[in-house]
Amino acid sequence: MEFLKKNWFKIFSALILVFLCVYVPIVAIKSALDYEIYKEPEIKTKIYTIWHIETFEGGSKARIDYIKSIAREIEKQNAGVLFMIKAIEPEILADEINSSVPDMISFGFGVGKIVLSNLLPFERSFDIRDELVASGSFNNKFYAIPYIVSGYALITHGVLTNNFHCGQEGYTNPENIFKNLNLSPAEIESGYEAYKDFVYDKTTTLLGTGRDVFRVNNLNSIGRTNASITPIDSYTDLIQYFGITKTDEIIEKFVDYLMDDSRQRDLTNYSLFTSKNFKIYGEGLYSEMEDALLSCEVKNVFD
């Protein structure tokens, strides 16, 4: 007993030390077992495919750039969402779509029948002009949004004569125009060749596309030419359409952005025109061309 009284503190300290030697490792081991290393939340990648089919001359780069700008914007806002935009030649479209179907399709006249069976009808409206809604409809259902419009113009060095060239690319039918004008072109050739013949004075008149209007208007502005430009108000088939083969939140968002009023107004940056029920040009040549497009006959894209 005397030993305990004299050495109690040492004994107590030893017991505490033993306790710590046993308890602390046990707690440490348990904590280590329970500890989870922090990991960044896993982001699942979702890839959406868009096929872009060009069927007419004039603004081809601008049209796909418009699609790309929307894709990049949505990608930035939605982690893990990616868009694969693929340009498809119209000549191989039928074979391609038989082997795989994209989520969305951008196309012009000439291939509507090829893609129609894969498209879903839209169940809502987009404030688009009635004649353009009709051009993207089949059996009273709306399958294809006309999201970019362009047109034709007679471009002359002087008095309009029968000595004119007509540029024709892909699946367009400018013949509908010169039939209405009771004119017969001296030559129908590729769009750029017809433009060059006009610029280098091989012909006095060009039936050109919106892209020719852009080129010649620029040449006029620097004094290279002094051509008059008369927009055609009878017919156009220079229209790009957009369809979907499936739907979800991201695809719906893409369509919303595609037809958003402010983005459609931005088509002025590309010298192109909107299908919506408002004008985007205030005055000048492009305003005149926009007015002409309001009167144009538009065929059905699925005919």
Query: How many other CB atoms are found less than 10 A from the CB of residue 59?
Result: 24
Question: What is the pLDDT, as a whole number, of residue 176?
Answer: 84
Assess whether pLDDT exceeds 70 at residue 126.
yes
User: What pLDDT shows up at residue 268?
Assistant: 94
Query: pLDDT at residue 168 above 80?
Result: no
Query: CB of 70 within 8 A of CB of 125?
Result: no
Antiparallel, parallel or unpaired: β 81-88 and 46-53: parallel
Q: Region 100-123: what's the mean pLDDT? A: 96
- Read off the pLDDT of each residue in 52-71 and give the average, rounded to a whole number: 88
- pTM tops 0.85: no
Residue 214's nearest CA partner among 159, 269, 132 is: 269
**Token pair for residue 294?**
């309001």
Per-residue pLDDT of 71-92, as tens digits, reads 999 999 999 999 999 999 999 9
Check residue 224 and report its DSSP letter: S
Quick one: pLDDT at residue 174? 85
Burial class (CB in 10 A: 0-12, 13-18, 19+), 131: middle
Q: What is the pLDDT of residue 142?
A: 98
Assign 245 a pLDDT band (cuts: 50, 70, 90).
Answer: very high
DSSP bridge pairs for 48? 83
pLDDT of res. 179: 78
- 5 or 92, higher pLDDT: 92
pLDDT at 69: 94
Query: Which residue type does 138 have?
Result: F
Distance between CA atoms of residues 240 and 207, nearest Å: 20
Residues near 102 by beta carbon (within 8 Å), at least 6 away in sequence: 49, 50, 51, 86, 245
Average pLDDT, the chain: 86
Say what the pLDDT of residue 4 is.
Answer: 45
d(CA 93, CA 74): 27
Domains contained in the chain, CATH given: 46-150+237-293 (3.40.190.10), 152-231 (3.40.190)
